[in-house]
Structure 1
Amino acid sequence: MVRQDGKRSFGLREADGSEPSAFVGNYPRQAALKAARRLTPGPSEADADRQELRLRERGTNKLHIYEGWAWEEDAPEDGPEWLSGTITEANVAKQGIEFLDE
């Protein structure tokens, strides 16, 4: 369901059908990127392990399927003072949409 501010809620669906995590975004890709940043990061984008992310849009029977991966990079030199060391970057690629029979 869409909130008054336009944001939608997506539940990260596990293999057993449970949804232990929820992510909010205007678009499913925003929620998928947030979920991908929680993956175990690889040393570089090319070497990162890719995992399937299944996000169910709350209030609907739509299941958005993404391939997600994360990697570590050095923090930018011109970043804020509190941002130092390494940061986790992430990317996703949409694989499709399924409709649940629930």
Structure 2
Amino acid sequence: MTRETDDKRNFALREKSGEETSVFTGKMPRQAALKAARKLDPSDSEDAAPREEFRLRERGTHKLHIYEGWAWREDAPDDSPEWMPETVTEANVSKQEIEHLEEL
């Protein structure tokens, strides 16, 4: 099966219990992981941000993408639009591994 270049994929945030609580969309797993990381409790700086592990299951597959993510607060850019808040949440992720689930 080939994918179109503009196809979006859905990734479900999976808890340790196996419950899937949220869904994030992206062309690549990392894009969805960055969206998930922005939902973490942000720290005051990137260096002080605690790393948290989270798991994203690609919908329609048995692949479980495991990431370490962190989030922090940063001042908005000087050229930001008026509607943007003064501080924004930034995030970063690091892929740890991919697991293949036996069953869903």
TM-score by length of 1: 0.94
- Distance, in Å, in 1 between the alignment partners of 2:21 and 2:14 is 7
Count of residue pairs the alignment pairs up: 101
Map residues 15-94 of structure 1 onto 2, 5 A cutoff.
Answer: 15-94=16-95
**CA–CA distance in structure 2, aligned partners of residues 28 and 94 of structure 1:** 9
C-alpha separation between the residues in 2 aligned to 1:12 and 1:55?
A: 5
Instruction: String of CA shifts for 1:50-69, please: whole Å, max 9, x gaps.
Output: 10010000010000011000
- Root-mean-square deviation over aligned CA pairs: 1.4
Amino acid at match of 1:22: V
Structure 2: give runs of 5+ residues left out of the alignment: none
Q: Partner letter of residue 83 of structure 2?
A: W
User: Secondary structure at the residue paired with 2:95?
Assistant: strand
Equivalent position of 2:101 in the other structure:
100
CA displacement 1:9-66 (0-9 Å, x = unmatched): 0000001100010001000000000000000000100000110010000010000011
**Code of the aligned partner of 2:35:** K
> How far apart are residue 84 of structure 1 and its match?
3.1
Using the size of structure 2 for normalisation, the TM-score is 0.92
In 2: Cα distance, 1:9 partner to 1:76 partner: 30
Gaps spanning 5+ residues in structure 1: where? Answer: none
Q: Which runs of 4+ in 1 moved over 3 A?
A: 2-5
